[in-house]
Chains A and B, each alone.
Chain A
Amino acid sequence: MKDKILVIEDDGDISNLICMNLEAAGYETKAVYDGEKAAEHIGKDSGYDLALLDLMLPGRDGFSLIGPLTRRRIPVLCLTARGDVDSKVQGLKMGAEDYMVKPFEILELLVRVEKILARTGRKKPVLTFRGLRMDMESRRVWEEEMEIILKPMEFRLLTVFLQNRNIMLPRDRLLDLVWGEEFLGESRTVDVHVAKLRKKLRSCEAIVTVPRGGYLFEDDERVFEEGEKA
């Protein structure tokens, strides 16, 4: 039950880069390398939760794919080397949800993907990891069928970890993502909440402290899975 993401990008390396990271973070991906084929593909299979679309494509202009994608209710995140305001505006006007200019940071890509999925109501309602189960709607957490009571910030922090597995999250980014950018707390706040999570949940042993970096939620299953696939 993973979110499915269609990656339409002509450069093989960039496509692989995006897919690799999205898969590490827990998404299912499908790569298409050319505009014509992408149009054909979405005609056959439109069961995607999001499309990452490069605007400069061989065969068919990326802009012309925004329409067909949004008509099939697939939200579009444009990716392009063109940083000019005009093409941004054009892309957004045509119905794209968001816009990213190359080169981009991996974490930024993941956060944007997540935001779009949440905004368009495509986020899975339940997050799971080993015996852990999070219900996003009722905001309740179970571990081995036992309900655990989490404070709101603890719940949000755990959500961020589960949505960005295997990716190192620096403390300041966690502060931004969980507490919001206006929050003026110290990075100690993060440490305190992580400690609480580790105490309350056995599966939170998976949260690894990266020296001088931040925290990383290890999900070996996924890395192993990807390793197999690759």
Chain B
Amino acid sequence: MRIRTKIIGLVAGVLAGACAACGTFAVNQYMNISVEKAAAAEMEKLALAERIFGGIGTGEELEQMGETARNAYLRYQFERCYQKGYVLMKDRECIMNLTDYEISAPEALKSSYVIQRQGDAYLLILKRDLPYPQGFWVMSVKDITSTWEEGRWQAENFLKVFFVVFGVSVGIAAAVMSHMLKALEKLRIQAERIREGDFGGKTKLTSRDELRELSESLNSMSDQIRQQIEDLKLLPGAMAHEMKTPLTNIMGYADSLLHVRLSERQREQSLEAIFRSAERLNRMSGKLLQLVGLYENREIENRTVDLEEVIGQAYEENRERLMEKDINFQIQRRGCPAFPGKREADGQEKEGMSVEGDPLLLFSLFDNLVSNSVKAVEEGGQIQVVLDRNLRRVCVRDNGRGIPPGDLPHVTKAFYMVDKSRSRRQQGSGLGLALAERIVRAHGGKLEIESYVGKGTNVTVTFEAENRKKDKRNVWEERQQ
């Protein structure tokens, strides 16, 4: 059953129940009071008549009369004192009936009054014992059909009000529901669209409630999925494209070696070109594997890694080229040590900066960043690595050629190269920053690139604060338990 039907049914049911209960109670109460009132009035009349009737003689006088005479006398007096609508009874015997009705089974009258239905008419029947003579009592029969009718009219009125109120409330509930459900329906349609692979659509809900939050989550989820899929989709295409150049070289030179008469020197050149291209393919495949590994979210090792050590390794990896270009490479440390007393003689803090993570990936990150800087700077340039403990970040700075502003947003895309031929000459694969970005993200950090053409580039890696990360893990562990 649809939620709409369910909720409206529920609202209608509850409303109907509540109204029915209230209505029944009110109508009942009204009827009771009316009847009670009528009965009280009747009782008073009876009492009044009784007082007059009491004046006809004392109990003793009546005792002395014979039964027949007494009954006749009483009948006479009764007719005089009481009017139409009363019956004089002795025990079960009807002595004098002034009503239009036949009396049967008077013993059934047990309480002080009773209501009886006689055809279309409603009768209020009251009973009052006479103080004397012994065993005589008076029955009053009053037609209260009008009171009864009034009650029914009241009930009908109530019913009308009930239907109006019920209709309006259910209508309002349905309207509100359908408005909310429309939002829900929108969300459902979007979820459906995501399932079908359409990530372009956005739901725009204006209400300020959980539904809007849900819609916003859905929107950002769809964006994220689209981004990921686009990244993944672009990857093979970009890869195939990048492979074409080395493949063209390998095939072309091999073809030439096989089928064309070449000079000795040309043969050597061809072999060298084949080797260079194969090397390039190999480098590309290595980086790709790393990148795909990260996409597949492989188990990332999680242990305390000393960043200075990792950066040292990255320096070693690039040392040859740093020397070749005569680059000034510096590592600077900032931020107060955790224990000021714990300093070594040279003033350096003993404790380095460490993060939780995968040492190989972190090495690859800084290797890529340093190697990028080496490619960017001119001979005799400068590269600075600044570690900031307090802010938990590492900056890799160079005074190289910089990235044009138009290219800046794209440099972390796989196979994006600002200057293709230069990148190729310097053995770039177009994957370095894509990889770096992924590694940083996998460590819950942020990679920011700031660059000015001709001035240099500053890449900042900010790691998540240690305690926050721990908190997160605790939450995770708790959830698992």
Interchain nearest-CB distance for A169 vs B (Å): 8
Given A13-B273, A20-B266, A34-B421, decide whether A216 and B248 contact each other with a Cβ distance below 8 A.
no
Given A103-B247, A104-B248, decide whether A11 and B265 contact each other with a Cβ distance below 8 A.
no
Residue pairs across A and B with Cβ atoms less than 8 A apart, 30 shown, are A10-B420, A10-B421, A11-B421, A13-B277, A17-B270, A17-B273, A20-B266, A21-B252, A33-B421, A56-B420, A81-B241, A102-B247, A103-B244, A103-B252, A105-B255, A106-B260, A166-B260, A166-B261, A167-B260, A168-B258, A168-B260, A213-B259, A216-B261, A226-B263, A226-B266, A227-B265, A230-B263, A230-B265, A230-B266, A230-B269
Chain A residues in 8 Å Cβ range of B251: 103-105
Chain A residues in 8 Å Cβ range of B258: 168
Please measure, in the bound complex, the distance between the C-alpha atom of A33 and the C-alpha atom of B422, giving whole angstroms.
Answer: 11
Give per-residue flags for A3-32: 1 if the beta carbon is below 8 A from chain B beta carbons, else 0.
000000011111011101100100000000
Please measure, in the bound complex, the distance between the C-alpha atom of A105 and the C-alpha atom of B253, giving whole angstroms.
Answer: 10
The majority secondary structure among interface residues of chain B is helix
Residues of A within 8 A of B (CB): 10-14, 16-18, 20-21, 24, 33-34, 56, 58, 81-82, 102-107, 166-168, 213, 216, 218, 223-224, 226-227, 230
- Contact A102 B262, beta carbon cutoff 8 Å: no
Interface centre among A16, A17, A167, A230 (most CB of B within 10 A): A17
Interchain nearest-CB distance for B327 vs A (Å): 25
Residues of B within 8 A of A (CB): 241, 244-245, 247-253, 255-256, 258-266, 269-270, 273, 276-277, 419-422, 424-425
Chain B residues in 8 Å Cβ range of A103: 244, 247-248, 250-252
**Closest A-B pairs by Cβ, 5 of them:** A227-B263, A81-B244, A103-B248, A166-B261, A168-B259
Interface centre among B259, B419, B421 (most CB of A within 10 A): B259
Chain B residues in 8 Å Cβ range of A106: 252, 255-256, 259-260
- Contact B245 A81, beta carbon cutoff 8 Å: yes
Given A102-B244, A104-B252, decide whether A167 and B420 contact each other with a Cβ distance below 8 A.
no
Tell me the nearest residue of chain A to B249, going by C-beta: A13
Chain A residues in 8 Å Cβ range of B277: 13
- Contact B259 A107, beta carbon cutoff 8 Å: yes
- Contact A24 B421, beta carbon cutoff 8 Å: no
